[in-house]
Structure 1
Amino acid sequence: MSDHVVAVLSGGLSHEREVSLRSGRRLSAALRSVGITTLEWDADSALIGRLASERPDAVAIALHGGQGENGSIQTILEMHDVPFVGSDSHACRRAWDKPTAKSELHRAGIRTPDWVVLPHSTFRELGAQAVLDAMVAKLGLPLILKPEQGGSALGVQVVHEAGELPAAMVGCFAYGDTVLAEQYITGTEVAVTVLDTGEGPVALPPVEIAPQGPLYDYTARYTAGLTTFHAPARLTETDADAVVELAISAHKQLDLRDVSRTDAIVTAKGEVYFLEVNVSPGLTETSLLPMAVQAAGRSLGDVFAALIEQSLTR
């Protein structure tokens, strides 16, 4: 691997730019630690020119949100025949759109919180209060609001009372034109990283997420000390097996490749609910994938070196 040059893509123009830059720096350092030459590139207007003039052997994507997860960057790399780690552009688009991913997995028999999806125009055209009343009648309270696309819990709102809904909708619409409203399921929140280095998808130890506040939001995710993590998660063997099975099923059902991270809730009754899947998991100091890698007794550099090697053989 030491003869290969790998470009690590990070930054970009999404709301998650700063987190992505942190992920990119950490991934670059991890790859260098195992002898891989890295180029740290921003996903900007110079990218296509660089792919031609400084063509790397492979690309590792550390972009979060927007173009890094919705298939855009993957399409550019595919058009230039540059190998890259991660899911192809078609699978990225399916996973990035939360309602699409939920619908596909629901049809496959995977449990996920009941939901509705509504664009901003529906509230404007049909009357906001009438639509909100119908939403509460359908899903009950409490419920959780999310932009239909995006990551890092940006724009996510938990609503306990009907009177909180209008302001929460405004906060959610700040990050997208369409809102996904879900039943709010309580339980143990876990994240399961799935790796596939050529012999089928395998799950790393689930990581339990225990935020100090009521929500694992952007601040809780990226501010050290605001969330306690347990790797492996404090689950019964039965519950741990169930959440691992769910993550591997989601990875397969959505045709994901190389690496993914599934977020789920395990209720007190042992019911496992799929929340969402991430095709470009964070790699910062407080991110979940590196914790899972460490819990498995592996190093970030070795894991991604194997994934890069695999991308070169495709």
Structure 2
Amino acid sequence: MGGDSPEREVSLASGAAVAEAFREGGYEASPVDVTFTGRFPARPIWDVLNSELLEADVWFLCLHGGFGENGGLQALLEEKGVPYTGSGPLASMLAMDKWMSKKLFMSEGIPVPDGMLVGPGEDGRILEEIGLPCVVKPRSQGSTVGLSVVRCEGEIKKGMEFAGAYGDVLAERFITGRDLTVAILGEEALPAVEVHPKHEVYDYTCKYTPGMSEYTVPAELPEETADALKEHALKAFKVLGCRDFGRVDFRMDTEGGTYCLEVNTLPGMTSTSLVPKAARAAGISFPELVERIARMAVERR
């Protein structure tokens, strides 16, 4: 847990919650705050990878964003033969790359918002090919870090600079409507959750500030729509090659059409995060959820 990405604080909260859940279940758990760059007063990953922790039954990854979620750490753990939770290196990399994952979703017939990669000075392309309103965001970040909803031409440059601070920039058509998410556990899609953020989008503030979002669990959807959403979530999860657990985010427009935004391979895992909320709706307690995820990793050993 921890790491060096903009989602560090969320990661620490996830790690603490998962450790407590293991202890509630009668297991020993050792939270380890790691750094990949030395920017934070945490244990260097190279030290951890050459320590007694290699003998642990399983590493439960609670890193969000950056090297901990983009496949880098997963590749190192594969090389060491360490059993770890979540998707492997390639699936993690594809899920973090919003442009590549969009292409793969389209190949499976999963609806996605129109979008394109844009560079500096390409404001006109956004207006011509995407139109307004649109979303401008980094190609490879999580938790809506660097994301802007652009409603007028004068905001495009500012949005591109904001997203560009994190790398390549992706522009997408903004889908007016509802925020929905489907958690995946193994081969099962859990009940959909609807998010009611105080802001126009479910941004970083709404995700992690108490009182800034409300939730309907399970989401109030016609049975046919709920089933289709689960089907698309499983397809998106599988086309990227994901495993164990994850979360697939959607927007639903005012006419009931759903659009897949992304797959999160290491979603938030506090007791109030979206995946645990969906699990509770399916009758799965937080300690049971954590144990089931860990067992999947152990069984691959």
Fold agreement, TM-score > 0.5: yes
d(CA) in 2 for partners of 1:101, 1:33 = 37
Asked if 1:181 is matched to 2:171, the reply is yes
One-letter amino acid of the counterpart of residue 11, structure 1: G
User: What's the counterpart of residue 166 of structure 1?
Assistant: 157
Contact 1:242 1:272 survives alignment (8 Å): no
**Alpha-carbon displacement from aligned partner over 1:101-124 (angstroms, at most 9, x marks no partner):** 000111221110010112xxx42x
1:195–1:204 contact (8 Å) kept in structure 2: yes
Please say if 1:141 is aligned against 2:141.
no
Q: Write the distance in 2 (CA, Å) between the matches of 1:274 and 1:236.
A: 18
Q: Identify the residue that residue 251 of structure 2 maps to in structure 1.
A: 265
Match of 1:304 in 2: 290
Deviations 1:182-226 (A, max 9, x none): 000112111100011xxxx10111110111121211111101111
- Asked if 1:313 is matched to 2:283, the reply is no
Paired residue for 1:191?
181
2:84 paired residue number: 84
The residue type paired with residue 233 of structure 1 is: A
Structure 1 residue 46 displacement after superposition: 3.4
How far is 1:169 from its partner? 1.6
| Residue 246 of structure 2 corresponds to residue 250 of structure 1 | no
Could you list the runs of 4 or more consecutive aligned residues of structure 1 that deviate by over 4 angstroms after TM superposition?
none
Indicate conservation of the 8 Å contact 2:191/2:218, yes or no.
yes
Count of aligned residue pairs for this structure pair = 291
Residue type at the aligned position of 1:140: G
Stretch moving more, 179-188 or 267-276: 267-276
Residue 236 of structure 1 pairs with residue 222 of structure 2: yes
C-alpha distance in 2 between matches for 1:222 and 1:309: 28
- Residue 44 of structure 2 is aligned to residue 46 of structure 1: yes
- Cα deviation, residue 288, structure 1: 0.8
Residues 99-178 of structure 1 mapped to structure 2, 5 A cutoff: 99-118=99-118, 122-123=119-120, 128=121, 131-174=122-165, 176-178=166-168
- Report the Cα distance in structure 1 between the residues aligned to 2:84 and 2:133, rounded to whole angstroms: 41
CA RMSD across the alignment = 1.3
Q: Aligned partners of 1:284, 1:218: CA distance in 2, in Å? A: 15
CA distance in 2, matches of 1:226, 1:50: 36
SS in 2 for 1:239: helix
Contact 2:137 2:160 in 1 (8 A): no
Asked if the contact 2:271–2:286 (Cα under 8 Å) also holds between the matched residues in 1, the reply is no
Q: In structure 2, how many angstroms separate the alpha carbons of the residues matched to 1:179 and 1:58?
A: 36
2:39 is matched with none
Cα distance in 2 between the residues matched to 1:168 and 1:308: 39
TM-score by length of 2: 0.93
Name whichever of 272-281 and 230-239 sits farther off: 230-239
Cα distance, 1:309–1:207 mapped onto 2, change above 3 Å:
same
Distance 2:255 2:224 in 1: 11
Q: Is the CA contact (8 Å cut-off) linking 1:223 and 1:286 kept in structure 2?
A: no
SS in 1 for 2:60: strand
Q: Distance in 2 between matches of 1:138 and 1:216?
A: 25
1:3 aligns with: none
Does the CA-based 8 Å contact 1:190-1:266 persist in structure 2?
Answer: yes
What SS is found at the alignment partner of 2:235?
Answer: helix
1: distance between equivalents of 2:280 and 2:295?
A: 21
C-alpha distance in structure 2 between counterparts of 1:268 and 1:134, whole Å: 26
CA contact (8 A) 1:60 1:84 kept: yes
Query: Does 2:293 align with 1:295?
Result: no
Q: Is this contact kept in 2: 1:190–1:206, CA < 8 A?
A: yes
> Hey, what does 1:19 align to over in structure 2?
10
- 3-state SS of 1:38 partner: coil
Residue matched to 1:5: none
TM-score by length of 1: 0.89
Among all aligned residue pairs of Structure 1 and Structure 2, give the percentage whose two residues are the same amino acid.
39
Equivalent in the alignment of 2:28: 37
> Contact conserved, 2:184 with 2:246, CA < 8 A, in 1?
yes
Give the CA deviation at 1:88.
0.7
